Amino acid sequence: MAVAAERTPGAAVDENLLVVRDLVKYFPIRKGLLQREVARVHAVDGISFDVKRGETFGLVGESGCGKSTTARLITRLLMPTSGSVVYDGQDISTWPERKIRPLRRDVQMIFQDPYASLNPRRSIGTIIGEPLRLLGIGDRNERRTRVREVMERVGLNPEHFNRYPHEFSGGQRQRIGIARAVVLRPKLIVADEPVSALDVSIQAQVLNLLQELRDEMGLTLVFIAHDLSVVRHMCDRIAVMYLGKIVELASGDRLYDHPRHPYTGALLSAVPAPKASAGRGRQRVVLQGDVPSPVAPPPACRFHTRCWKAQPICSEVEPPLESKGPRDLAACHFPLTDGEVDALTERSAE
C-alpha cells in the first residue's frame, strides 16, 4: 500500500493525477446598504500539493481550516479565487460548468453526513443509479443490474433496492453514499470526513470497505478527516492544514514519527492514546486559546499566536513550505528537533 509513497518525488508529470498550485479561495463578507464586500474569509490561502495516481492523500486539520473548501475546489464544485487545479494534465480551474460535466464521471465525492446528502424521497436504488442516469449510461435494465452489483459490493442487501434512506442506519447510509460514488468507476474519489459521524465499530467497517474498493478499482483517494489516527491509518501521504494553509506535508509514518511543525506536534500530543499508560511520562502540549478567525488571519506564520516556539521573526516573515528532511515539507522557522519530538510522543516513556 505504501508503494506509491515510496516512489521518488519530482518524477514525470504523468505520475500525478492531480496537481494543485497556489490554490486560493476567499469568500466575500458583504455588509451595509449596498452589500459592499467589507472583508473576506481566507478559507484556502495558497496551497500546493500533488496527488499521485493510486495513492491515498490525506488532509487533516481542525474545524474551519479549509479542508472541505479544498475538497470542493478540486472537484470543482467551487470556482477558485486564483491558482490552478490540474487534473490528468488539464487545468480545470477555470472551466465552465458545461465543460466540467464529463469530468464528473472520473471524479466523485463522499460526504460527511450521509443522511443530509441523500434525497429522502428517492429510493436508494434510484439514488445510487442517479449518476448513471444523468450521464445516460446503459438502459434501464443495465443500470439496475449495475446498481445491484454495486450494492452487493458495498455490503448492502440488493433486495433493499426500493427502500428509502431513513430506513437505514448511519453506517448503511454511508455505504449508500460510497455506492453512489463508485458506481461510475471513477478514477479519483474525494472523501470529506466519511466516517466522522459514525461509531467506532461501524467506522472500522467503512474504512475497510474504502480500502478494499481502492485496491480493487485502483482508485486515487483524497481522504479528509480531523481524526489523526484515521488519516494515518488510511493515507500514504498527509498534508496538515492550519487556517487555510498547508503547514506540513509528509509521508504518513514520517509525519507521525517525526513531526516537524509545532502545530503537528501539538495535534499529535493532544490525541489521548487508548491504553492504561496514557498521558503518563509524556509532556503534553496543550495549545492555549482558539484558532484565530480566518477573516483576519495573523500575519506571517499564522500559528504564531498559539505557538510555544514562536520568536519575533515568526510574526514578521512567513516561513515557506520547504524541505525539513528527506521528503518532508514544513512551513516553520524553528522546526521541532528530535528531542522535542520524543518528549511530545510516548515513545521515550517506554
Partner 1 sequence: MGAYIVRRTLWAILLLLVVSFLTFVIFNVFPSADPAALRAGRNATPALIEQIRRNLGLSKPFYTQYWIYLKGLLEHFNLGYSYYNTESVKSEIFSRLPATISVTVGGFVAWMLIGIPVGIISAIKPRSLLDRIMMGGSLVAISAPVYFLGLVSLFLFAQGTGVLQWAGAAGSYVPITQNPGTWFNSLILAWLTLAAAFAAFYARMTRGNLIEVMHEDYIRTARAKGLRESVVITKHGLRAALTPIVTMAGMDIGLLLGGAILTEIVFNIPGIGRYAYDAIVNADLPAIQGTVLFGAFFIVFANLVVDILYAFLDPRVTYG
Partner 2 sequence: MALLEIEDLHVSFKTVDGVVHAVEGVSLSLDARKTLGVVGESGSGKSVTAQTILGLTRFPNATISGRILFDGHDLLTMSTEHLRDVRGARIAMIFQDPLSSLHPFFKVGHQIVEAIRAHEDVPRDLARKRTIEALSSVGIPSPEERFNSFPHEMSGGMRQRVMIAMALAMRPDILIADEPTTALDVTVQAQVLELIQALRDDFGTAVILITHDLGVVAQMADDVAVMYAGRVLEQTTRETLFTEPEHPYTWGLLQSIPRLDAPRTGRLNPIAGSPPSLINVPRGCTFHPRCPYAPPPAFETEPALTPSQPGHLVRCHLPIEERKRLWQSLQNEHPALR
Residues that bind partner 2 (CB under 8 A): 1, 62-63, 169-172, 199-205, 207-208, 211, 226, 228-230, 232-234, 252-253, 256, 266-268, 270-276, 278-279, 284, 286-291, 346
Q: Which is nearer to ligand SF4, 25 or 324 (CB)?
A: 324
Task: State the Cα–Cα distance between residues 2 and 7, nearest whole angstrom.
Answer: 9
* Chosen residue from 125, 244, 303, 324 binding ligand SF4 by CB under 6 A: 303
Task: Supply the DSSP symbol for 348.
Answer: G
* Contact partner, 32, from partner 1, ligand SF4, Mg ion, none, Cβ < 5-8 Å per class: partner 1
By CB under 8 A, the residues from 15 to 74 that bind partner 1 are 30-33, 35
Name the binder of 68 from ligand SF4, partner 1, Mg ion, none, CB < 5-8 A by kind: Mg ion
Figure out which of the listed residues 23, 65, 73, 238 binds ligand ATP, where binding follows CB under 6 A: 65
Beta strands 90-91; 36-52: pairing state: unpaired
End-to-end CA distance of the chain: give it in Å, rounded.
29
* E strands, the chain, in order: 16-31, 36-52, 56-60, 82-87, 90-91, 107-110, 188-192, 220-224, 237-242, 245-251, 322-325, 328-330
**Rounded distance between C-alpha atoms, residue 91 and residue 189, angstroms:** 18
Shortest distance, CB of residue 40 to partner 1, whole angstroms?
A: 16
Length of the chain as a residue count: 350
Answer for the pair 234, 35: CB distance below 8 angstroms, yes or no: no
Instruction: Answer yes or no whether residue 262 interacts with ligand SF4 by CB under 6 A.
Output: yes
Compare residues 29 and 313 and give the one whose CB is closer to partner 1: 29
Q: Interface with ligand ATP includes 68 (CB under 6 A)?
A: yes
CB-nearer residue toward ligand ATP: 273 or 296: 296
CB 31, min distance to partner 1, A: 7
Residues 10-69 touching Mg ion, rule: CB under 5 A, are 68
From Mg ion, partner 2, ligand SF4, none, which one binds at residue 224 (CB under 5 to 8 Å depending on kind)?
none
Q: How far is the CB of 223 from Mg ion (least distance, A)?
A: 13
Helices (H), the chain: 3-6, 67-74, 97-100, 124-134, 140-153, 170-182, 200-217, 228-234, 252-257, 262-270, 338-344
Q: How far is the CB of 343 from ligand SF4 (least distance, A)?
A: 16
The answer to whether residues 86 and 18 touch, using CB atoms and an 8 Å cutoff, is yes
Residue 279 binds what, of ligand SF4, ligand ATP, partner 2, none (CB under 5 to 8 Å, by partner type)? partner 2
CA dihedral of 239, 4, 220, 236, whole degrees rounded to 10 = -40
Decide: is 231 part of the binding site for ligand ATP (CB under 6 A): no
Residue among 15, 6, 54, 51 at smallest CA distance from 218? 54
Q: How many CB atoms are located within 10 Å of the residue 339 CB?
A: 9
The site for ligand SF4 (CB under 6 A) is made up of 261-262, 301, 303-304, 307, 309-310, 314, 319, 332-334
